[in-house]
Amino acid sequence: MFKEIFSIVHGFLGTVFLMAFSGAFAELVELTHHGARRVKIGATLMFIASVLLSISGGILYAIYRAPVPESARSKLLASSAPWVHTILMEMKEFTGMFVPVILAVAVYIAWRHSPELDSDKIIRKVLAGMLGLAMLVTLLTFGLGAYITKIQPL
C-alpha cells in the first residue's frame, strides 16, 4: 500500500514539474509585463519539484532494489531481460540526478537577471535552453521509468 501511494505522489510531482515548465517556457517565448516574475516562479517550482522527485525516486529505488527475491530488481535480473536493469535502470538513476543541478543554475539566472529578461534576448535564450534541457533529461528519465515499470512493476 505504501509503495502504491508513494508512486502516485511521485507521479504527481512529475505533473507539477511539467506544468511549471510549460508556464515558464511559454512566458519566455512571449514575455509580457509581469513575465519575468512568472519565469522566476516557474523555474523555482521546477527546481523544487525536481528535488522532491529525486528524493521520492530514491525512496522508490530502495523499494525496487530491496535485497529479497520478491523485489522488482531480483525479478528483472532473473527474467529473460536482465538488460532492462543493467542498462536502462542504471542510466535512469544517473540521468535524473542532473535535472536539479541544471535547474539550480536556471533558477539563479532567472532571479539574478530578471530585470534584463525583457530586453536581453541572449539571457532569455540561455534560460529557455536550460529549461528545455532539463525537460528533455526529465522526459528521458520518465520514459525509462515507465518502460522499466511496464516490464516489471514494483
Nearest to 128 by CA among 42, 53, 34, 15: 42
The conformation of residue 152, written as its DSSP 8-state character, comes to S
Question: How many CB atoms are closer than 10 A to CB 16?
Answer: 16
Is it the case that residue 103 has pLDDT exceeding 90? yes
- Identify the pLDDT of residue 18: 92
The tens digit of pLDDT for each residue in 139-150 reads 999 998 888 888
Which runs of E-coded beta strand occur in the chain? none
Q: Where are the domains of the chain?
A: 2-151
- Please enumerate in sequence order all residues whose Cβ is within 8 A of that of 119, keeping only pairs 6 or more positions apart, or say none: none
Instruction: Please report, for residues 2, 63, 104, the alpha-carbon distance to residue 134 in angstroms, rounded to integers and kept in the order given.
Output: 29, 26, 10
Q: In the chain, what percentage of residues exceed pLDDT 70?
A: 99
Phi (first) and psi of residue 153, to 5 degrees: -65, 155
Using CB atoms within 10 Å of the CB of residue 5, give its burial: 0 to 12 exposed, 13 to 18 middle, 19+ buried: exposed
Between CA 145 and CA 36, with CA 131 as vertex, the angle to 5 degrees is 140
The tens digit of pLDDT for each residue in 36-53 reads 888 999 999 999 999 999
> What DSSP element (H or E) covers 90?
helix 90-95
- Please enumerate in sequence order all residues whose Cβ is within 8 A of that of 74, keeping only pairs 6 or more positions apart, or say none: 68
